[in-house]
Amino acid sequence: MSPHADGGSTSGRADLHFSSAADVDRFVTTLDRFERGEIDSEEWRLFRLLHGNYGQRQGAGPTMLRAKLPQGIVSADQLDVIADVADRYSRGFLHVTTRQNVQFHFLPEEHVVPAMQLLGAAGITTREACGNSVRNVTTNADAGVAKDEVFDPVPYAEAFTRHFLRHPLSAVLPRKFKVAFSGGGSDHAFVLVNDIGFTSRLDENGQKGFRVNVAGGTATYCSSGHELFAFLPVRDTLNVTEAILRVFHDRGDRKNRKKNRMKFLVKSMGYPAFRDAVLAELEVARAENRAPLPFPEDEPSTREPRTHARVPVTLAELSSLVDASVAKGPGIVPKTLPLLPREADRAHFFGSNVAPQKQDGYYQVTATLPLGDASSGQVRALARLARAYSDGTARMTHAQNLTFHWVREADLEALFVALARIGLSRAFPDTLGDPSSCPGAESCKLAVTQSRGLAQALTSLVDETPELVAKTKGLVVKMSGCPNGCGLHHAAGLGFQGGMRRIGGKPAPHYFLYVGGDPRGEKAAFGRFVAKFPAKRVPKVVERLVALYESERKPEEPILDYLKRVDVKALAKSFADLSLLDETNATDEDFVDFAETEAFSAVEDEAS
């Protein structure tokens, strides 16, 4: 039998409604109780986190709202609503996260409820987007169309989302809980660094199942997920999660916040004891049939593409949409100027942003969102493009970009020209030219450095030296503003972690450099520490690293393979001059972070 079970066409789901008006009503009621003094600030904080409302480092006033897009899938109509929220209540632009969510920053507190109501009316929920809960369930962005996938995981991921959203255990866990599904192809969806990772597999009879890995994660303790099952029949997908959640709920550490992710529970129990506890719970779940799949096991393989009447769009209409919106600060603001591509840019785009689907005659096309940002006008334009050239939907990616499926070959050129007109046709997504970053010190309470500013600086470096991308083919670059690693820097070929040093009593922003991280395969590899560098010297570090690779690599050796094998101590010596910062050589610039004009100051605050 063919290794690919789904020879037919799938395109995701027709129902994208996950919200509940009761969630917003309860939020309003609880807010009233807090304002009347009936509950204290800590109870209110924990409650609002479970509804996607996260305090910013700026203190009282501005706040962040995170909305979940299960499996990263969003409709054109929902994109229009997201743009409206960005315009009315935020800064005129949105931010896509590494977990396929969208975030709105710097909302005045009085805007949170109306923003939630507007999102909810479009089926978009903020429920369990933050807090000690089952977070947004992600999949690979090419699920359902990837040529190398074993089978489409989206129907199972959707069933998972609907079962555990508002589940009695989902919001009362010791700590946050992350889940990812992968179709088993080259897009790994970071399954090995999630609390549960499901990877599509077939048994010897061609029956569908998942490889199940548990207790993966990054941050201060990096762990590749343990293999709980090499093959678990798909019918047990929800039951096994019920079992895992019950073990974590009952035995997880609720006292020490820094050690209460599931990976720490597995470490303290020992994996054999943890596995035995889960298997015992699974037997009970199976016996009681607690969580059956809501469809026959093989039903999703017969699903047809969404029917969609394509709505034509003109370049003038797209331009007017972008021009009508205003992205504003504070913080880094996305550029909305059209790109004027040369023939080389077109060739690069078609070589890096366009991929054939397993369905003959169709392609997936990626729009690159620099820093994961898009203005409200650009988002409305993307909605028009989804209606004109795709199936009326789009998908957010783990690399903070947006992908269209079901683009006909005859429409590829028009879509490229349209993306260039709205400023989103940059080539080489998820490379050195398109680094991923968490929000960093622009808004996050825990962040030490302006990781978005560093990402912007590296993007500018590649713009000035485009040959760097060709020299670093296959290199994934990610950065985080602190050790928590929301930017997934531990699992990148080149990872940067924000930190600081005091020079002459003054704090100076720095970055830890990690090399050789790789989340693929049977076991994730995590980046090895090289050295700590002043923030403003990082672009020079990257240039020198590329030069070293070129001089030391084996014939035809990819840069990631080089970074996995290179002696990090020898590498550190090669950067000794760039890492050294003291009172004798420090300049004023060394004390100012990227994207800032004032002297650097580290904010120490507890996570919300």
pLDDT (tens digit, 9 = 90+) per residue, 129-179? 999 999 999 999 999 999 999 999 999 999 999 999 999 999 999 999 999
Query: Is the torsion defined by CA of 433, 436, 438, 443 positive or negative?
Result: positive
**393 in Cβ contact with 383 (< 8 Å):** no
Give one word for 306, left, alpha or beta, with left for phi > 0 and alpha for psi -120 to 50: beta
Quick one: pLDDT at residue 590? 96
What the block records as the tokens of 562 is 């080089």
Q: Does position 427 have pLDDT exceeding 90, yes or no? A: yes
CATH architecture of 21-121: Alpha-Beta Complex (3.90)
What the block records as the tokens of 410 is 């005859």
State the average pLDDT over residues 301-328.
Answer: 85
Q: Which residue, chain included where needed, has tokens 């974590």?
A: 248
State the average pLDDT over residues 343-349.
Answer: 95
59 pLDDT tier (thresholds 50, 70, 90): confident
Quick one: pLDDT at residue 2? 35
Q: Which residues of 492-507 are buried (b: 16+ CB within 10 A; e: fewer)?
A: bbbbbbbbbeebeeeb
465-520 pLDDT tens trace: 999 999 999 999 999 999 999 999 999 999 999 999 999 999 999 999 999 999 99
State the Cα–Cα distance between residues 333 and 544, nearest whole angstrom: 29
Quick one: pLDDT at residue 1? 33
Can you point out the beta strands (E) in 9-131?
53-55, 63-67, 73-75, 93-96, 102-107
pTM comes to 0.95
Quick one: pLDDT at residue 602? 73
**So where are the chain's domains?**
21-121, 436-591
State the average pLDDT over residues 237-247.
Answer: 98
Phi/psi at 431 (5° precision): -135, -170
Give one word for 310, left, alpha or beta, with left for phi > 0 and alpha for psi -120 to 50: beta
22 pLDDT tier (thresholds 50, 70, 90): very high
Fold category of 436-591 in CATH: Sulfite Reductase Hemoprotein; domain 1 (3.30.413)
Q: 154: how many CB neighbours lie within 10 A of its CB?
A: 25
**Could you tell me the CA-to-CA distances from 540 to 149, 188, 472, 511, 532 in Å, in that order?**
39, 31, 15, 13, 13
Quick one: pLDDT at residue 7? 34
